[in-house]
Amino acid sequence: MRIATTGVAHAVAGIAIGWASVAAASQSPETIRWQRSADQSRMGKYEFRISVPARGDQPTETVHLANRTTEIRKTETYGHYLVVIGSIGTTAVIVTVLDLSGGGEKLSFLCWYADVSPERRFIVFKRFHPRFTDADLISDVIGVVDLDALPKERQVMATNPDDTVPPFSAGHPVYPEVNLRTGAFDLRLGDVRHMVYPTFLWRDAHTLVLVDTVTHWPGGAKRLAVCQVDLHGKPNPELDCVPLSKRDAGVLQRSGIKALQLEPEKSKLEIQLYPSGKLVVGLP
């Protein structure tokens, strides 16, 4: 039995074991370790025992995770929170926030392509939709959970009596602009479809960079845009988008995106193309 991790994984006596490096302040990198029970419970859940090393004046903690998570992909600490990014088989990505100060499970939700910001304060994700949803009905919505703004009360993903997961949205939508403006996580608002490339880049600790293919209906006319979201915007996050030139958009549509990365000075975005080549575009 093997478990996906951000570090190393292997199996011992039927128990999945994983570990991931975590930087402790003014110390060498420490390690978050976890073990998964060999068998599912009667409720169809695995139990993970996660050991978080001492950080600063915070002692070593051992916490338990027993929700729908079947694999752990990544773990991060922020203050007294432990963020666990995992999966439910191939059904969905599941994010769980555990309170290391003794509060147990603080928040859990389904999504796609979750990641954390460089300083680990923000969790960014694509709003969840069932895998087999008709593509014509889907428009990507990007959401953010601010760990500094979590309410004191516990927020846990609800389930229906038939054990299916109802629509549930955590945090706040930050893109597209209509979702940011209305505060709604609706997958499709109006006659525009958004397909955000599933790599989230950070210009700094609070500025998110996205690449979006925007399709306008009727007619299906497409344009590509590079957008950035300043999560420190007041009173709400500030969104700014720059459309790609027709030439660059044509090259990108013919070749496809292999990878995204910011240039060292972080004023330009490098788009690596299939099978080779790149585009360099300015940021908003």
What is the chain's alpha carbon radius of gyration, rounded to the nearest angstrom?
Answer: 20
How far apart, in whole angstroms, are the C-alpha atoms of residue 125 and residue 255? Answer: 26
61: amino acid identity, one letter: E
pLDDT on residue 245: 92
Residue range 32-87, pLDDT digits in tens: 888 888 776 555 678 899 999 988 788 888 899 988 899 999 999 999 999 999 99
pLDDT score, position 218: 78
Alpha helical stretches, state H, 116-192: 177-182
Token pair belonging to 259? 């990878």
Q: Which of 112, 227, 122 is nearest to 176 (CA)?
A: 227
**Among 118-122, 130-134, 279-283, the least confident range:** 130-134
Q: What is the pLDDT of residues 179-212, one digit of tens each?
A: 999 888 887 767 889 999 999 999 999 999 999 9
Stretch 273-283: mean pLDDT, rounded? 92
Distance CA 51, CA 103 (A): 16
Given this model, what pLDDT does residue 130 score?
Answer: 81
Task: Look up residue 269 and give its two tokens.
Answer: 């975005």
| Residue 236: how many other CB atoms lie within 10 Å | 13
pTM of the model: 0.85
Least confident of 60-69, 150-159, 221-230: 150-159
Torsion of CA 68, 71, 76, 77, to 10 degrees: 50
The SS3 assignment for 167 reads coil
Q: Cα torsion at 258, 139, 229, 267 (round to 10°)?
A: 30
pLDDT at residue 104 above 50? yes
- Per-residue confidence band for 114, with pLDDT thresholds at 50, 70 and 90: very high
Beta carbons of 164 and 139 less than 8 angstroms apart = no
Residue 100 zone, left/alpha/beta (φ > 0; ψ -120 to 50; rest)? alpha
Whether 75 and 41 have beta carbons less than 8 Å apart is answered as no
> Is 140's pLDDT higher than 60?
yes
User: What are residue 249's phi and psi, to 5 degrees?
Assistant: -65, -40
Between CA 189 and CA 152 the distance in angstroms is: 32
219 pairs with which residues across the strands? none
Which residue would you say has higher pLDDT here, 30 or 62? 62
Alpha helices in the chain (DSSP H): 177-182, 246-255
Strand order across the 257-262 sheet: 257-262, 268-273, 278-282
- For the ranges 19-28, 39-48, 142-151, which has the lowest average pLDDT? 19-28
Mean pLDDT (the chain) is 82
C-alpha 222, offset from chain centre:
26
